[in-house]
């Protein structure tokens, strides 16, 4: 079974990982020979990533309110009470200097931690840096979800690749049996 990555793909889970490491890593810093600079850089990354997510959320909420206002102004109904949206309220800026590639730093830090002679599975579990085992994809039962639209009178198929490199299309041309579609 292949391992999945320790660093999650979605922002909310990335924030949780940063918070977990910021809270727990100081307990293991001496054993894992992590410097105060490592811990400080982790904290700066957490502060700025959390700020950016909160600011993004405030901006999106304001944007949605502006769209709703525009739709009421444009389309009515006529006697609708109009509530002007409040300007977004942003969280306070962190006082530290931001840096780019927070998760590049984090990936390298986690790799260094896991290679350290004092690293144990118990430490990995406490830090939540042990990747879960993935069952992988059973390609024999994998079915794409197809959508179709028409461009210039011709159908165009769309699908998500589900980590696959190709798609094999089979069709029933009135024979009652599915066969691979011939390529042209």
Domain annotation covers residue 132: no
Q: 3-state class of 159 per DSSP?
A: strand
Chain-centre distance for alpha carbon 7:
9
What gap in Å lies between CA 119 and CA 86, rounded to an integer?
50
What gap in Å lies between CA 58 and CA 62, rounded to an integer?
6
- Is the model more confident about 86 or about 5? 86
Residues 159 and 94 in one domain: no
What gap in Å lies between CA 152 and CA 183, rounded to an integer?
21
CB atoms within 10 A of CB 110: 20
Q: Does residue 39 contact residue 29 with C-beta atoms inside 8 Å?
A: yes
Least confident of 53-57, 118-122, 153-157, 164-168: 164-168
Residues 150 and 83 in one domain: no
Q: Is the pTM of this model over 0.85?
A: no
What does the pLDDT look like over 46-100, one tens digit per residue?
Answer: 999 999 999 999 999 999 999 989 988 998 888 888 989 999 999 999 999 999 9
Domain annotation covers residue 159: yes
2 pLDDT higher than 90: no
Residues 97 and 29 in one domain: yes
Percent of the chain predicted with pLDDT > 90: 60
**Residue 86 belongs to domain spanning:** 11-127
Residues 79 and 154 in one domain: no
Q: How many domains does the chain have?
A: 2
What would the mean pLDDT of 7-34 be, rounded to a whole number? 96
Q: 3-state class of 3 per DSSP?
A: strand
Identify the DSSP state of 96.
Answer: S
Residues 41 and 103 in one domain: yes
Residues 85 and 160 in one domain: no
What would the mean pLDDT of 124-137 be, rounded to a whole number? 79
Q: Does residue 156 contact residue 149 with C-beta atoms inside 8 Å?
A: yes
Least confident of 29-38, 40-49, 61-70: 61-70
Residues 119 and 156 in one domain: no
């Amino acid at each position: 079974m292949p391992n999945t990555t320790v660093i999650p793909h979605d922002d909310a889970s990335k924030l949780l990982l940063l918070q977990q490491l910021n809270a727990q890593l100081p307990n293991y810093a001496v054993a894992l020979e992590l410097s105060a600079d490592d811990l400080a850089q982790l904290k700066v990354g957490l502060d700025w990533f959390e700020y950016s997510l909160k600011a993004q959320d405030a901006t999106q909420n304001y944007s949605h309110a502006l769209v709703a206002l525009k739709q009421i102004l444009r389309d009515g109904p006529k006697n609708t009470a109009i509530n002007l949206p409040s300007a977004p309220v942003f969280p306070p800026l962190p006082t530290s200097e931001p840096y780019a590639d927070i998760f590049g730093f984090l990936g390298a830090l986690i790799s260094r931690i896991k290679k350290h002679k004092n690293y144990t599975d118990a430490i990995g579990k406490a830090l939540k840096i042990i990747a879960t085992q993935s069952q992988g994809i059973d390609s024999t039962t994998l079915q794409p979800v197809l959508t179709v639209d028409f461009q210039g009178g011709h159908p165009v198929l769309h699908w998500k690749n589900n980590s696959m490199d190709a798609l094999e299309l089979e069709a029933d041309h009135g024979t009652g049996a599915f066969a691979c579609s011939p390529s042209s």
